[in-house]
A and B are shown apart, each in its own frame.
Chain A
Amino acid sequence: QSALTQPPSVSGSPGQSVTISCTGASSDVGSYNRVSWYQQPPGTAPKVLIYDVSNRPSGVPDRFSGSKSGNTASLTISGLQPEDEADYYCSSYTDSYTSFGGGTKLTVL
């Protein structure tokens, strides 16, 4: 299982859009559409935002969207809101094993 690479931090102002990247390898992100994204506000447990690259569980606002190109998956948050300030983690599921990215801290300015 390869490690997934995320930028340590991103920031944006309310109303803007930000994109968080998640780079893996051809053996995981590049070969399977089993990438998910989790949001972790400070002091709380993670919660799934996106599964299978671009699907949203019920209750997740459509401001959150996911995509993939080659070995890199991306999470885009549009119309930033103060409550979006949190850590975000990507995850890849391959052959019954799970790997996580190092996490990205989103700051809403």
Chain B
Amino acid sequence: QAQLQESGPGLVKPSDTLSLTCAVSGYSISSNNWWGWIRQPPGKGLEWVGYIFHSGNTHYNPSLMSRVAMSTDTSKNQFSLKLSSVTAIDTAVYYCTRKVAGLSWYADWGQGTLVTVSS
């Protein structure tokens, strides 16, 4: 089981870029896993953001694709999310996740971090 820990600013201004990092322990970022993000607006349901393989291959939610970028840092065993041009609807708890390559479910989740978009 991987331990995942999100970090980043809890408050972001409208039109700015949201940046989050997920520190991974228990697994190498270079292992056979997809590392990703799922978000949950307060009081609402889950929304898949996307995921990345250590090779750099990515899959993003089509509704966010124009604003999302993910990356990995093998030296620090972590991965990151950037979401540009944020608005209030991007306010959510952001969870980082692990999905085994070739499988369809999310085996590990971070505890989540709330990001609020407000001026």
Residue ranges of A at the interface with B (Cβ–Cβ < 8 Å): 1, 34, 36, 38, 44-48, 51-52, 57, 89, 91, 93, 96-103
Contacts and interface: CB of A to CB of B under 8 A. Distances in A.
Contacts, number: 49
Interface of B: 45-48, 59, 61-62, 95, 103-107, 109-112
A100 B104 contact: no
Contacts of A96: 59
Nearest to B49: A98
Contacts of A46: 46, 95, 106, 109
A98 B46 CA distance: 11
Given A46-B46, A47-B109, A103-B46, 19 more contacts: A1-B62, A45-B95, A45-B110, A45-B111, A48-B105, A48-B106, A48-B107, A51-B104, A52-B104, A57-B107, A89-B46, A91-B105, A91-B106, A93-B104, A97-B59, A100-B45, A101-B45, A102-B45, A103-B45
